[in-house]
Amino acid sequence: MKLNKVEDTIIGNEGYHLEVNPSKIEISANKPAGIFYGIQSLMQMLPADIEAKVKSNRSVWEIPSVTITDYPRFKWRGLMLDVSRHFFPKDFIKKYIDHMAKYKYNVFQWHLTDDTGWRIEIKKYPKLTEVGAWRVPRTGKWNTYEGPQPGEAATDGGFYTQEDIREIVKYAQDRFVTIVPEFDIPGHAQALIAAYPAISCTGKQYHVFPGDVSGGTGPGVNVVCVGNEDNYEILDGIFSEIADLFPGQYIHVGGDEVNKEFWKDCPKCQKRMLDEGLKSLDELQSYLMHRVEKILTTKGKKLIGWDEILQGGLAPNATVMSWRGTEGGIAAAKAGHNVVMTPTQYCYLDFIQGDPAIERIQWGQYLPLSKVYNFEPVPQGVDAKYILGGQGNVWTEFISNTRRVEYMTWPRGLAMAEVLWSPIEKRNWKLFVPRMEAQFTRFDQAEINYAPSIYDPFIVTEKDQDGNLKIKLSSEMNDLEIYYTFDHSFPDKFSQQYNDIPIAIPKGASEIWVITYRNGKPKGRLLVKSIAQLRASI
């Protein structure tokens, strides 16, 4: 391994040259990050048992002879994990960062605060973790829970101490991953308000939101008062400690899904609008973001927020994370602001990736692996220099344990990694699939959970010219055989095979059972759909 004495302008700061032949293995790069990424590529060429939890008995490790020149397309190659809805321990965060680094991600956005829990110790404001980190325990379907009952203890939650944060930040730095902390204001702040009620417009005591059906205790309870001048002193104190813990240049401030209607009835907010000559509630939020950006600037940090921060006017140096489609990112880029593209329809990895009948849950849009792979971060008509890159997001309303986090991240995280690293002309779905499947064996060795949804069948219904229901069967993989039954028997390779001709429904049939095979062995999971469901889906 060697660092170049003369800079190679082709590979930049994160690229590398890798040469493997019978006499040597050599990695060269301009910067240590390039050496690191070269090692990751080298590791992927070793047999899968290099990832095993137990020591391999292999006496000889073979690597193919290769010559590789490789460098990333984008500077920002990110994954976001929400630890507010559900808290995940320090060791898992490290494991998650480890796996990100293997696939050359370099940004970990850590969603640390929301209505549902405050996860970072702030020494100046201890109630943020004493109160804000805990809620009443509930299990089941999010937004259907019973609210806190009289005298019920808030025992579900947790937080990271400042020592934990420093340890994780250093761990990430050693793997060339920058952590971007997210502290949400002025909305998604109910845990903050539960700890310090005076921060809200009402000053009333509210509970940390556990996902109950009431949405908390009413509309707007999770909104910070913009008119209360004391709040800016509190924000300054919080941001001071966050800035000290995270050496990266960005702090994410949220800014999304704010219930601005609550400010209409707040005398302090109305006075602020009058004093500052603000004509709308959007401008009131923009005023807050301008103040917050000034606070961050004094601490040597840059503001980044979700695309709602465009409303009412962007802060001068703000970076926009475009999630509600690409429109916000396009507008910000055309105004000369940097953008991270993360539109829901391609990047929300908490969305279901298979049929709800298999996944057993319906959340968000259907986001299969192939659609993630088709994500293009640079919209047409936009100067690419303003697009820092892209990011996959894992929100955790319906993800309550670490195995589920992995399942929702991988293998879609592999597709996102390739989108953000590889040149667009090198991306090819048919070539990606076998590379991805090779990683499944490595996941198994490393005991990383992943979704097999790419092998599952799915059903599309249509009507023929006579109005009769017809069924089409398919899968994301084009080399699978699909078998089906209508008689409630388990389909196998001796059942009826689908031959790309729409199927007519036999009289009396109430369900269709479908499964995929490859080379005579079952590959996908069983899909069972009622005929009534299929009729209703047209």
Active-site positions read: 114, 188, 257
Residue 313 makes CB contacts below 8 A (sequence gap 6+) with: 283, 286
The SS3 assignment for 252 reads strand
Q: Are 157 and 87 spatial neighbours (Cβ–Cβ below 8 Å)?
A: yes
No. of H helices and E strands in the chain? Answer: 16, 24
For residues 209 and 218, give the distance between their C-alpha atoms in angstroms, rounded to a whole number: 11
Q: Which of 53, 119, 57 is nearest to 89 (CA)?
A: 119
List the Cα angle 296/89/250 in 5-degree steps: 15
Beta strands in 136-191 (DSSP E): 156-157, 178-185
For residues 254 and 257, give the distance between their C-alpha atoms in angstroms, rounded to a whole number: 9
The b-or-e profile of 74-109 (16+ CB within 10 A means b, else e) is bbbbbbbbbbbbbbbebebbebbbebbbbbbbbbbb
Paired strand residues for 260: none
The SS3 assignment for 178 reads strand
Q: Which of 97, 71, 125, 328 is nearest to 238 (CA)?
A: 125
